[in-house]
Amino acid sequence: MAILHTGNESNKSKLLRGRNWGTVNEDATLDSSKFDSMISRMQQDGTLTKRDYEFAQKIWDLMDTMKPAAQKAHKKMYGYYFNEITANEIKTPFGDFRGGYVPAKVDVYTNEDAAIREERNDLEKNNNSFQFPTTGRGFTKGRVDAYAAPLSLEMNLLGSHIDGVSRFSYIEPTVKQVSRLLMNKDLRANLAEVDPTIAREMLVPWLQRTAQQKVVLPSTSGVGKLTDMFASYLRTSVAMQFMVGNVTNALQQVTGISVAASKVAPKYLSLSMFNYLTDRKAMTESIYEKSDFMKATQGDNIHEAQEAIQQIITNPSTFEKIQSFAKAHTYFLQSATQNMVNTIVWSGAYNEAVTKGLSELEAVRSADSAVRTTQGTNNPEDISRYETGTATARLFTQFAGYFNMLANLNNAEVQKIAKTVGLRKGAGKLFYLYVTAMMLPAVLSDLIVRSFRGKGLDEEDDGPVDDLLAIFFGSQFKTATAMVPYVGPMINAGVNNFNKVAYDDRLSFSPVLSVLESAAGVPKKVHDM
């Protein structure tokens, strides 16, 4: 990282002065003789090699490739281009290198001023009440050359810088436009007539997490940060325990086709399913060519991109590689099944939109919307505020995304029917919505679970009637209550006390808490054996 900071005079000066590795001469020039002598020794004894400088140049080149898009976005928003740092050619025994730019971040662990600034920035970026959502643009601001403090030598900062520049280049211009709209007094007055909290409690927080591309908010207290670390570990571990190789849950993803039928005509879904079975590869490639949304969100593309950055800058150990592989493939069965469903739904929605005479752009957007609203995504801009929060708070919403999506879908469609034709005239549409987006997915999911338990339709050998009623009514009741945040588990636990099994009578708001509750009882069980 120190070598990377020598790629331009500004970074090198700040590095050496900040860490007392160099001094300033009377004529205000930098005396880097001691540092340069050390680098020369390391080159001669083989500590630094040609590969090190080639690697550094690739990092500098990567940073350069990001500048045009960032400059374009800055010019569009502010009317001028930001000043760029000029590269400094580096001469070595292995050849000359062009040098380049990397962010000059002050080490927050050794400089209190930097720590305060970082905390202030985090507070503004993650505070939902902050009135001007932004991705951040610190890298575009001019430097104060006279200021010097110890620069950070943490390679992971490069990953966060790449993330920040990408968000600024491709998200910030639109965020700015939407932000100006949300701050319009007339619009806010109209929204306030419907609900005074819409802009403040829903739209601004949504725009903020869209800009930051974050769903996990950092805690501000020391205790909160400590519990967040523990909570993140627990959430990941429990997800891996419950979901790795979970065939039952993977098959339940197929019920998403029924949910999609609430927005896409079944004949288009049937045709799309046939096309998928006959030529899956061609269909998938065609969709990826048309839809950036599908190309970006299908499969493990996002994780692979993030992992590639980490591979470049951190050189993970063998254990870390195994751990990363396990995390990346926790939902491998679910992803494979859901990708199939998403492809079928997107193609069906697209074909229906084209048949209705929509333009190519409108058809693609309609298909994207059908997948997003009927299947759900984990994108920060798509989930509800209920699913965001600190890592500790998110323990209580794990696996709640599907039911939250289902609740929002049903609520939105009911309101649409009420506003267009009225509830009475729209009774047929309401019944169809109930069948496709409530009854069928709930009943089918329960049947899948029961089939893998191997109990059949008469678990207690007292006739199948009670089991059939439980499948039809019980599954829908559990699905409906699961749509209610926090309160749903309480209702389910209360109702379960009236059945003949004991394993589902206990109140649990979170899978993590269930695991911890079970673990707490292990010592006594071992003692009693």
- Most confident listed range (127-136, 271-280, 457-466): 271-280
CB atoms within 10 A of CB 210: 20
Distance set, CA 215 to CA 73, 182, 191, 370, 393 (Å): 25, 21, 25, 22, 11
List pLDDT tens digits, range 219-249.
777 788 888 888 888 877 777 777 766 788 8
Are 384 and 408 spatial neighbours (Cβ–Cβ below 8 Å)? Answer: yes
Of 332, 356, 377, 351, the C-alpha closest to 287 is: 351
* The predicted structure's pLDDT at residue 61: 95
Cα separation of 403 and 426, whole Å?
Answer: 24
Residue of 106, 107, 2, 104 whose CA lies nearest to 53: 2
Compute the average pLDDT of residues 73-81. 92
Residue 434 has pLDDT above 90, yes or no: yes
Cα 213 from Cα 201, distance rounded (Å) = 18
pTM attached to this predicted model = 0.73
**Distance in angstroms (rounded) separating the CA atoms of residues 329 and 36:** 46
- Helices and strands: H and E segment counts in the chain: 27, 4
**DSSP H helices in 376-486:** 401-420, 427-434, 440-453, 465-469, 475-482
Query: Quick one: which of 204, 207, 130, 127 has its CA closest to 172?
Result: 207
**Token code pair at residue 114:** 């930097």
91 bridge partner residues: 96
Calculate helix-pair angle for 172-182, 204-212, nearest 10 degrees. 170
Q: For residues 466 and 311, which has the higher predicted lDDT (pLDDT)?
A: 466
The SS3 assignment for 246 reads coil
